[in-house]
Amino acid sequence: MKLKILFSILFLLLLSNCGAKKSVVQKGNLGTVITEEPKPKDLPSVNEVKITKKLATKNPSLNREILAYIRTYAPIAVNEMHQYKIPASITLAQGILESGRGKSELALKSNNHFGIKCHVKWTGERVYHDDDEKGECFRKYKYIATSYNDHSLFLTQRKRYAFLFDYNIKNYKKWAYGLRKAGYATDRNYPSKLLKIIKDYQLYEFDKFKKGKGSKRFNKLAHAKADKKSTLSLKGDIYEVKKGDTLYSISKKFSISVENLKTINNLSDTIISLGQKLIVQ
């Protein structure tokens, strides 16, 4: 009888030890937070201002938010291209598409511009959004530039994307179709969407930019932290509404008519709110 009791106790202890080794991941768990995300460096200009201004002049119907996005993140995309051999045009087009021009909830709250999910080995902060399934886990970054770098690492460190690096770095068409083939997105039209953005906004121009050219610039958005209300400052292209501002006073400040302000910002009236970001180019 005593032997039976002893075996029962040993069995219970064994179950207890096994259970202790299991880790239950709940929907609010942030995982192991990355506390030492490297602060983004100031990057050389890649003629992003000249290119976007020329595009806007040539084709006034182009989306101003996309032009502002290109002006902000082109230097990062080119820098990643020089390090990882991923076409800057592809990186920019994916960033524009996946982040909704930087305006998606995932981009604004988590600095995630490429829709990269947590996956098994991710040890950084996490957020949950509905995507292909409800409440899926997505990566959260301290800096926007980290999202760009993680996108490069994501492609270079997975075998299923290895064949892409056999393509010429300027062959963005093959890259667009290759990403769909490798399973980056489930949308069958993903390649055509990327290619339209690249062609409409001439993103292929950034694939030609050689390393070591350009002058240093400070990119405030690239240094932005998640969950911080950072002021967008694209050399006067985007303005954050301050206390006492009216649409009329802003129009005078930037020498643009009220009607043009309403048009490029899709405003139906002259009502604006504190902290609202307006395109003022």
> Over the stretch 161-190, which tens digit does the pLDDT of each residue have?
999 999 999 999 999 999 999 999 989 999
pLDDT band at 125 (very low <50, low <70, confident <90, very high): confident
Model confidence band, residue 198 (pLDDT cutoffs 50, 70, 90)? very high
Helices (runs of H) and strands (runs of E) counted in the chain:
10, 6
Residues 6+ away with beta carbon under 8 Å from 95: 69, 73, 77, 102, 113, 114, 148, 151
3-class SS of residue 24: coil
Domains in the chain: boundaries: 43-228, 236-281
Distance CA 202, CA 179 (A): 20
Q: At 2, is the secondary structure helix, strand, or coil? A: helix
Phi first, then psi, for residue 129 (nearest 5°) are: -140, 155
For 236-281, the fitting CATH number among 3.40.50.720, 3.30.70.20, 3.10.350.10, 2.60.40.10 is: 3.10.350.10
Number of C-beta neighbours around residue 218 at 10 A:
10
The total of other beta-carbon atoms located within 10 Å of residue 268's CB is: 6
The per-residue DSSP string of 174-208 comes to HHHHHHHHHTS-S-TTHHHHHHHHHHHTTGGGGGG
Which residues touch 211 (CB under 8 Å, ≥6 apart)? 82
165: closest CA among 148, 149, 179?
Answer: 179
Q: For residue 41, what is the DSSP state?
A: P
| Confidence band of 229 (pLDDT split at 50, 70, 90) | very low
Q: Across all residues in the chain, what is the average pLDDT?
A: 80
Q: Amino acid letter at 255? A: S
Query: Mind listing the pLDDT tens digit for each residue in 31-90?
Result: 334 447 788 888 889 999 899 989 999 998 999 899 999 999 999 999 999 999 999 999
43-228 and 236-281: identical CATH topology: no
Is the pTM higher than 0.75? The answer reads no
pLDDT of 241: 81
- Give CATH for domain 43-228: 1.10.530.10
**Which range in 203-212, 217-226, 227-236 is most confidently predicted, on average pLDDT?**
203-212
Longest dimension (CA), the chain: 95
Integer Cα distance of 165 and 18 in angstroms: 44
Closest C-alpha among 264, 258, 219 to residue 72 = 219
d(CA 165, CA 183): 16
Give the model's pLDDT for residue 43: 87
Angle between the N-to-C axes of helices 88-98 and 144-156, in degrees from 0 to 180, rounded to the nearest 10: 120
Contact 258, 247 (CB under 8 A): yes
Percentage of residues of the chain with pLDDT beyond 70:
75
| SS3 state at 228 | coil
